[in-house]
């Protein structure tokens, strides 16, 4: 995978810049991203899942990013993401969501009823829908970064 | 993968996906606005978009 994007219409190598090559889509995309962060699930929980999925997918830039919506995230938890199941800093909600997030990134067919139930019992139906949607978005963002070969260092939305 | 619905439908429309998303109306609205724009505008022809969608569905084993 090369460094920097090969999309010449972008003003810089960030994913938002690349997407702005299609203004009619990028504005709606940013609205959707903002909606995910405001849908009622703890942003720190979402951010940990986003970073973990980026790690698994080999999205180095995505794993290094920090979403402004999740400001204040304990970086010690990020360091502990590769052993979240035994790290004492992760509570039951974080463990339930990370379990689904990891499986979602690796093979979504492998997400079990038990794994999903552990999330929905803690978040409720609306929260589980928002969480699932966030995972799909994070998965897509990482894959887009890899496909576009972007190398951003900040997340604007 | 389970064949049972994991989220109680929040609507009674023809799409199970849409009925689940109805738990989050604002999110659903933003998604369908983006998705609709993707399908109704742009430089890529519809045959290419649909071919890519179908191929992606096969690879991910999505029956829908």
Residue A21 at interface with chain B, using a CB cutoff of 8 Å: no
Report chain B residues whose CB lies below 8 A from the CB of A110.
Answer: 1
Residue with tokens 């992760």: A90
Record: contact A32-B34, CB cut-off 8 A: yes
Confidence of residue A10 (pLDDT cuts 50, 70, 90): low
Provide ipTM, 2 decimals: 0.84
How crowded is the C-beta side of A146, counted as CA atoms within 13 Å?
15
Report chain A residues whose CB lies below 8 A from the CB of B38.
Answer: 25
Instruction: Give the integer Cα–Cα distance in Å for A112 and B39.
Output: 32
Residue A32 at interface with chain B, using a CB cutoff of 8 Å: yes
pLDDT in tens, B25-61: 999 999 999 999 988 888 889 899 999 999 988 888 7
pLDDT at A66 over 60: yes
Report chain A residues whose CB lies below 8 A from the CB of B61.
Answer: 109
Residue A30 at interface with chain B, using a CB cutoff of 8 Å: no
pLDDT of A5: 57
Q: What is the pTM of this model?
A: 0.88
pLDDT in tens, A77-117: 999 999 999 999 999 999 999 999 999 999 999 999 999 99
């Amino acid at each position: 995978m090369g460094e920097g994007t090969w999309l010449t219409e972008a003003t810089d190598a960030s994913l938002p810049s690349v997407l702005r090559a299609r203004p009619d889509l990028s504005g709606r995309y940013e609205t959707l991203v903002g909606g995910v962060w405001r849908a009622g699930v703890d942003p720190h929980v979402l951010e940990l899942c986003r970073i973990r999925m980026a790690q698994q997918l080999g999205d180095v830039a995505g794993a290094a990013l920090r979403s402004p919506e999740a400001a204040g995230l304990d970086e010690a938890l990020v360091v502990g993401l590769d052993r979240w199941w035994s790290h004492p800093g992760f509570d039951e909600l974080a463990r339930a969501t990370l379990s689904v997030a990891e499986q979602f990134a690796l093979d979504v067919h492998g997400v079990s009823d038990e794994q999903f139930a552990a999330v929905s019992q803690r978040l409720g139906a609306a929260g589980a829908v928002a969480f699932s949607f966030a995972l799909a978005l994070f998965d897509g963002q990482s894959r887009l970064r890899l496909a576009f070969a972007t190398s951003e260092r900040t997340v604007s939305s | 993968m389970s064949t049972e619905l994991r989220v109680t439908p929040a609507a009674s429309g023809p799409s199970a996906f849409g009925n689940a998303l109805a738990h989050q109306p604002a999110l659903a609205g933003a998604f369908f606005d983006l998705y609709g724009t993707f399908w109704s505008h742009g430089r890529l022809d519809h045959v290419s978009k649909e071919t890519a969608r179908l191929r992606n569905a096969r690879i991910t084993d999505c029956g829908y």
